[in-house]
């Protein structure tokens, strides 16, 4: 976990990203609009401009280095290993250091006149400003560490050190040994920090920390047995591992005891309410819309998708229901068609293998149609989701950061062995023959995996490190439609119907998240929304409800980013006319790293001279 800002592991998770990925926003400067962020730059004296930009480059380098000192665990996720043996204890002292750093750097940043910066630095300016303001807001107002026990989990960084060959195994184990020193204090501090937790985050923390135990009582010991450590080093490491597992078990036991009172009504409501939600939306998404405006747009998109699905269902009806009269209720007819098609799916024991089989086929289509550059030197590894990452999303990507860009990208796919037969069948119907392909496009190629490979090549470390979740998720959603528009699956109506259902889920993510966190709908209303208006299977709907109780705003990033990217592409296509090239547009768009879409739009317009 990072002190400066919580990242979503895709989770971003989890990113989230997490891959582990930072979501940027602009909460503190309430009067700064998207149009102001994207306004053209003035043209000052070039000599003065050059000096200012050199100074700003140095400011960025110093800021990043100090940032890693405060956030050594996050540094690991971007491939910066200078502080790999340090585990920060999440106490008041750490919060104070982060707050002072953010305030000091924000003041220094504002000494620069953004109109005298070049386009790349101007984009970085807004990202840094947003990141620092975000840090202050998360510590002083959001205060997630007081009510979200799941933010305390040390396993991820330890697992990354163990499984990344950035130095010898013996050296990595010695690094782990040093980091282990702070694990007991880390969890003791976590217990002290938590005031009134939510029941939902308490359950997630219990589940994920139980999964974390495997890193310390199995994964590390197994690697230790393969190492050349001395017997004394091994003995010392075993003692520290024992202390770590004791600390984790102590945290789990404390949470389980705490949970008893939460069940009786002492828990904090997981809903954050309208005021915090709007601030968090502004902070995390960096949108040209407010949260309410995006919600209204999503409602409109839902109606448009329903109309398209009704049209396709009528087109397919005679093919699949020749002897059955089509229902007068159009949505009922759509549901019948989707239910009928959804029985075509892989078996539960072949789910992970089928994902592995599909990836090279999708890659071949992208190459054949020349849609976007891919780099075969940056491997994608499909694997079962590690235990300590399970419980939030069924599929996610862990990508290397810009400092270690050639390391493996992992496509995590959770096997279905934790489901009953009924739950597994429901899940497989949701991820049926067509939708599983769309999932792989979204998560891997040309979605998250391809985008993050490009991001790591961006000349701006700021844009890669402080990634915007709406851009990252929006690109993955955009890539789905782009692939179908390019002729993937031969334009068969079944695929377009299932894509519409999948895209409806993106729209519903926004509607559901806002409806839960701001409008206060209950679980039954949420399931009705997902199952009867978005045609989702019960297992998927229940999982989405759970996810929406564990996060806020993140679910809106998909629709927001997708809408902004798609609209921008159409704008560029219209203005360039015959000069428009889809692959060139994609490569250029992705070259700006993980910057918010409004900033990318501003920079690309200037470069293409289409302002």
- Residue ranges per domain, the chain? 13-145, 150-266
Whole-angstrom distance, CA of residue 202 vs CA of residue 267: 9
**pLDDT for the residue 9:** 31
Tokens of 260: 């008893």
Tokens of 444: 């891997």
What is the per-residue pLDDT across 413-434, written as a single tens digit (0 to 9) for each? 999 998 999 999 999 999 999 9
Q: Which of 261-270, 340-349, 399-408, 587-596 has the lowest mean pLDDT?
A: 399-408
Q: Which contacts qualify for 485-488: CB closer than 8 Å, 24 or more apart?
A: 486/365, 486/369, 486/371, 486/582, 487/369, 488/362, 488/365, 488/441
pLDDT of residue 35 exceeding 50, the answer is no
Contacts of 293 (CB under 8 A, 6+ apart): none
User: Which residue, among 345, 540, 542, 507, has the nearest Cα to 437 in the 3D structure?
Assistant: 345
Tokens of 162: 């163990």
SS (H, E, C) 451-481: HHHHHCCCCCHHHHHCCCHHHHHHHHHHHHH
Average of per-residue pLDDT values in the chain: 90
pLDDT of residue 42 exceeding 60, the answer is no
**pLDDT for the residue 539:** 86
What is the per-residue pLDDT across 488-512, written as a single tens digit (0 to 9) for each? 999 999 999 999 999 999 999 999 9
Rg (CA), the chain: 24
CA torsion through residues 593, 594, 596, 597, sign: positive
pLDDT of residue 98 exceeding 80, the answer is yes
Q: How confident is the model at residue 33 (pLDDT cuts 50, 70, 90)?
A: very low
C-alpha distance from residue 61 to each of 121, 131, 361, 593 (Å): 12, 15, 41, 17
pLDDT of residue 546 exceeding 80, the answer is yes
Q: How confident is the model at residue 376 (pLDDT cuts 50, 70, 90)?
A: confident
Q: Quick check: 135 and 98 in contact, CB under 8 A?
A: yes
Find where tokens 């049926």 sit.
Answer: 432
Range 96-115 average pLDDT: 97
pLDDT of residue 20 exceeding 80, the answer is no
Range 548-566 average pLDDT: 97
383 pairs with which residues across the strands?
A: 412
**pLDDT for the residue 299:** 97
State the CB neighbour count (10 A cutoff) for residue 409.
Answer: 22
Backbone φ and ψ for 153, nearest 5 degrees, come out as -165, 120
pLDDT of residue 551 exceeding 60, the answer is yes
Classified as helix, coil or strand, 412 is strand
**pLDDT for the residue 21:** 28
Range 385-398 average pLDDT: 78
**pLDDT for the residue 328:** 97
**pTM of structure:** 0.83
**pLDDT for the residue 67:** 97
Whole-angstrom distance, CA of residue 39 vs CA of residue 42: 9
Q: How confident is the model at residue 391 (pLDDT cuts 50, 70, 90)?
A: low
What is the per-residue pLDDT across 507-538, written as a single tens digit (0 to 9) for each? 999 999 999 999 999 999 999 999 999 998 89
**pLDDT for the residue 584:** 98
pLDDT of residue 51 exceeding 80, the answer is yes
Q: How confident is the model at residue 34 (pLDDT cuts 50, 70, 90)?
A: very low
**pLDDT for the residue 10:** 31
**pLDDT for the residue 46:** 67
Q: Which of 178-192, 291-305, 450-464 has the lowest mean pLDDT?
A: 450-464
**pLDDT for the residue 389:** 74
What is the per-residue pLDDT across 429-466, written as a single tens digit (0 to 9) for each? 999 999 999 999 999 999 999 999 999 888 889 988 89
**pLDDT for the residue 127:** 94
> Apex CA 177: angle with CA 242 and CA 247, to 5°?
35
**pLDDT for the residue 358:** 97
C-alpha distance from residue 571 to each of 488, 574, 585, 610 (Å): 23, 5, 11, 9
Higher pLDDT, 23 or 213: 213
Find where tokens 């739950």 sit.
Answer: 423
**pLDDT for the residue 388:** 72
**pLDDT for the residue 275:** 96
Q: Quick check: 169 and 237 in contact, CB under 8 A?
A: no
Q: How confident is the model at residue 31 (pLDDT cuts 50, 70, 90)?
A: very low
pLDDT of residue 1 exceeding 90, the answer is no
> What percent of the chain is modeled with pLDDT above 70?
92
Q: Which of 59-68, 322-331, 382-391 has the lowest mean pLDDT?
A: 382-391
User: Which residue, among 397, 556, 400, has the nearest Cα to 16 in the 3D structure?
Assistant: 397
């Amino acid at each position: 976990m990072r002190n400066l800002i919580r990242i979503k592991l895709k989770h971003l998770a989890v990113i989230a990203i997490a891959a582990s990925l930072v979501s940027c926003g602009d909460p503190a400067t309430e009067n700064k609009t998207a149009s102001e962020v994207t306004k053209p730059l003035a043209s000052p004296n070039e000599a003065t401009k050059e000096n200012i930009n050199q100074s700003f480059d140095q400011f960025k380098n110093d800021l990043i280095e100090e940032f890693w000192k405060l956030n050594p665990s996050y540094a690991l996720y971007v491939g910066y290993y200078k502080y790999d043996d340090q585990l920060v204890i999440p106490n008041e002292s750490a919060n104070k250091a982060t707050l002072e750093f953010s305030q000091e750097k924000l003041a220094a940043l504002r000494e620069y006149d953004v109109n005298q910066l070049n386009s790349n630095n101007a984009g970085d300016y807004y990202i840094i400003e947003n990141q620092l303001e975000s840090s202050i807001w998360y510590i002083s107002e959001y205060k997630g560490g007081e009510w979200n026990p799941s933010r305390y989990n040390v396993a991820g960084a330890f697992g990354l050190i163990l499984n990344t060959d950035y130095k010898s195994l013996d050296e990595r184990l010695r690094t782990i040994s040093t980091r282990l020193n702070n694990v007991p204090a880390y969890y003791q501090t976590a217990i002290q920090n938590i005031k009134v937790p939510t029941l939902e985050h308490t359950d997630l923390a219990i589940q994920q920390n139980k999964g974390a135990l495997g890193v310390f009582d199995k994964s590390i010991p197994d690697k230790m047995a393969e190492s050349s450590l001395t017997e004394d080093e091994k003995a010392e490491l075993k003692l520290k591992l024992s202390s770590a597992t004791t600390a984790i078990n102590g945290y789990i036991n404390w949470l389980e005891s705490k949970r008893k009172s939460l069940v009786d009504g002492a828990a904090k409501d997981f809903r954050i309410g309208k005021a915090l939600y709007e601030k968090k939306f502004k902070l995390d998404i960096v949108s040209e819309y407010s949260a309410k405006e995006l919600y209204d747009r999503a409602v409109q998109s839902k109606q448009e998708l329903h109309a398209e699905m009704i049209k396709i269902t009528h087109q397919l009806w005679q093919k699949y229901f020749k002897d059955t009269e089509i229902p007068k209720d159009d949505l009922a007819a759509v549901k019948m068609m989707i239910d009928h098609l959804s029985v075509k799916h892989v078996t539960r024991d072949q789910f992970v293998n089928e994902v592995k089989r599909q990836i090279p086929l999708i890659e071949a289509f992208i190459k054949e149609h020349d849609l976007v550059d891919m780099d075969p030197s940056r491997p994608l590894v499909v694997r079962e989701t590690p235990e300590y990452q399970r419980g939030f999303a069924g599929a996610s990507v862990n990508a290397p950061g810009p400092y270690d860009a050639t390391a493996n990208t992992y496509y995590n796919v959770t096997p279905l062995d934790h489901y009953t037969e009924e739950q597994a069948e429901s899940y497989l119907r949701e991820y049926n023959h067509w939708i599983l392909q769309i999932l792989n496009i979204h998560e891997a190629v040309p979605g998250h995996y391809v985008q993050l490979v490009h991001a790591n090549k961006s000349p701006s470390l700021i844009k890669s490190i402080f990634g915007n979740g709406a851009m990252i998720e929006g690109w993955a959603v955009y890539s789905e439609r782009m692939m179908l528009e390019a002729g993937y699956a031969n334009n068969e109506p079944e695929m377009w119907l299932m894509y519409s259902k999948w895209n409806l889920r993106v729209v519903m993510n926004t509607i559901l998240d806002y409806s839960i966190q701001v409008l206060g709908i209950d679980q039954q209303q949420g399931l009705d929304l997902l199952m009867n208006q978005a045609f989702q299977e019960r297992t998927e709907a229940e999982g989405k409800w759970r996810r929406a109780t564990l996060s806020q705003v993140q679910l809106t990033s998909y629709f927001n980013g997708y809408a902004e990217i798609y609209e921008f592409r159409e704008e560029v296509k219209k203005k360039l006319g015959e000069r428009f090239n889809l692959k060139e547009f994609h490569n250029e768009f992705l070259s700006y790293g993980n910057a918010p879409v409004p900033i990318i739009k501003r920079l690309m317009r200037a470069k293409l001279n289409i302002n």
